[in-house]
Amino acid sequence: VAMVSQSRLHEPGIGLEDAPHRVLVYTDLKALNPWPDQRRPRREIELHLTGNMERYMWSFDGEQFSERTEPIRLVYGERVRLTFVNDTMMNHPIHLHGMWMVLDNGNGHENPLKHTINVKPAERLSVDVTADASGNWAFHCHLLFHMDMGMFRVVSVSKPPHGKGES
């Protein structure tokens, strides 16, 4: 378990620290065009990426999907910040279906859009999401064996006002 989480966006992936060539890192990424929604997030949801290698269990906030009955609830049109804290010693590529995540990598209006964001061991990073697609959406680690073992949640976006943006 990671004792101190920190931003590691500037670090290359494991095994690439001494590569003889330039390695692309998250701080290098910039959006070609700024995301239209530049509002500040209304609230923040902190999610801890947790697991147990001996029992091979993976989860969000120490609870596997089978133990969690409530989804992460968002209001249609809301802008929310998701902060991931990786408390494990493994990478977790986190994927949100149905909506873009804007990675806060320090590039302001040029922060990049991501469908999947890799969270390194002992890393803390944030993404902003505009809840612009109503319904229930899968939210999981894209290492499918981690997802199968419990690192999965449902994001539920309330229905929009009649006739606006229904999916």
In degrees rounded to 5, what are phi and psi of residue 67?
-95, -10
Joined tokens for residue 153 = 């949640």
CATH value at residue 60: 2.60.40.420
| Residue 165: predicted pLDDT | 54
Domain limits for position 132: 49-157
Render the burial of 117-131: b for 16+ CB within 10 Å, e for the rest: bbbbbbbbbbbbbbb
d(CA 18, CA 100): 32
**Residue 39 forms part of a structural domain:** no
In a domain, 68, yes or no: yes
Q: What is the pLDDT of residue 167?
A: 47
> Has residue 4 been placed in a domain?
no
Question: How many structural domains does the chain have?
Answer: 1
The reported pLDDT for the residue numbered 67 is: 87
**Per the domain annotation, does 73 fall within a domain?**
yes
| pLDDT score, position 55 | 86
φ, ψ dihedrals at 32, nearest 5°: -65, -40
Asked, for residue 41, whether it belongs to a domain, the answer is no
Other Cβ atoms within 10 Å of 103 Cβ, number: 21
pLDDT of residue 163: 59
Confirm whether 11 is domain-assigned: no
Please list the rounded mean pLDDT of every run of 10 residues in the chain (167 residues).
Answer: 79 90 95 94 97 90 87 97 96 98 97 97 97 97 94 94 59
- Residue at 32 is within a domain: no
Residues 6+ apart with CB under 8 A from 6: 122, 123, 124
Answer yes or no: is 30 within a domain.
Answer: no
pLDDT of residue 82: 99
How many Å from the N-terminal Cα to the C-terminal Cα in the chain? Answer: 39
| CA–CA gap between residue 143 and residue 11 (Å, rounded) | 21
